[in-house]
Amino acid sequence: METKEAIKSTMDLCAMVFQGYLEDLGDADLMKRPGEGCNHLAWQIGHLIASEVHMVESVCPGKGATLPDGFAEDHSKETAASDDASKFRTKDEYLSLMGQVREATAAALDELPDAKLDDPAPENFRSFCPTVGNMFILIGTHPMMHAGQIVPVRRQLGKPVVF
């Protein structure tokens, strides 16, 4: 398996797990928080989407997906405490946008010359992602950093174990 294939396989597996946890949740469920002081699921999904675009743009300028106007701002640290559902999107909107963003990310990775994977990552990421290749691995695994927060919400709602 080539490097890019391994990265894309990792992206696909992480997306499958993350979206599997969301599959039987409704829009109102996305406004639930896994615990006190935690961000609700809608904000976390929006954060993942906006972060992915930001990270792709940082290593492949002009290749990230275009987000709807105000989307990144609606999912910033300043909005994390909001429980106003009208300020967030529906599950279908999030999943559709997540798919579009991932498609653009995969295209950016495909277009990137293999040698560029070893280039240094942007300075603000370098302490934990030293190379562009590491950045694409972070992009792919970032949903798994949040997937565990969906599980307590699933338990609160009496949803079945899915993995």
Residue 22: its pLDDT value, please?
98
User: pLDDT at position 48, please?
Assistant: 99
Integer angstrom CA distances of residue 124 from 27, 48, 112, 130: 34, 18, 21, 10
**Beta carbons of 64 and 54 less than 8 angstroms apart:** yes
Read off the pLDDT of each residue in 8-13 and give the average, rounded to a whole number: 98
DSSP character string of 131-151: BHHHHHHHHHHHHHHHHHHHH
27-65 pLDDT, tens per residue? 999 999 999 999 999 999 999 999 999 999 999 999 999
Whole-angstrom distance, CA of residue 119 vs CA of residue 7: 16
Q: Which tens digits make up the pLDDT trace of 69-127? A: 999 999 999 999 999 999 999 999 999 999 999 999 999 999 999 999 999 999 999 99
CATH superfamily, domain 3-156, is: dinb family like domain (1.20.120.450)
Alpha-carbon separation of residue 137 from 13, 14, 120, 132 (angstroms): 12, 11, 14, 9
Helix (H, G, I), strand (E, B) or coil at 3: helix
Q: How many CA atoms lie within 13 A of 119 on its CB side?
A: 13
113 vs 101: CA distance, rounded Å: 20
Residue 100's pLDDT is: 98
Residue 106 has a pLDDT of 98
Q: Show me where the domains of the chain are located.
A: 3-156
- What pLDDT, on a 0 to 100 scale, did the predictor assign at position 134? 98
Nearest to 146 by CA among 17, 10, 9: 17
